Amino acid sequence: MDSKPLILGLVVLLSLWNVLVATRIETPYPEMLVELYALPFTRLILLALVIALSMWDAQITILAALAFICLGADVIFLTK
């Protein structure tokens, strides 16, 4: 099975997410997302997802890790 379309779709999706977050600091996160991110278990699941993606494709890993870091930085900034 060829996974190129799936990889391309994930790269585009993660790229759009990163551009949206990076260009607009005022982009509000849903309250539920902020509350979930405050739980350590949620952050561990997201980190495990990034690690699992690292075994699949390097491009997706970089974009997912960047999204994870941006989300964490933004949530920390927005919850203070």
- Residue 2 three-state SS: coil
The pLDDT value recorded for residue 78 is: 59
Q: Where are the domains of the chain?
A: 4-79
The pLDDT value recorded for residue 39 is: 80
Look at residues 59, 78, 80 and name the one whose alpha carbon lies nearest to residue 9: 59
The pLDDT value recorded for residue 76 is: 65
C-alpha angle 33-38-39 in degrees, rounded to nearest 5:
105
CB contact at 8 A, 75 and 34: yes
Mean pLDDT per 10-residue interval, the chain, length 80 residues:
78 79 67 77 83 82 80 65
pTM of the full structure: 0.56
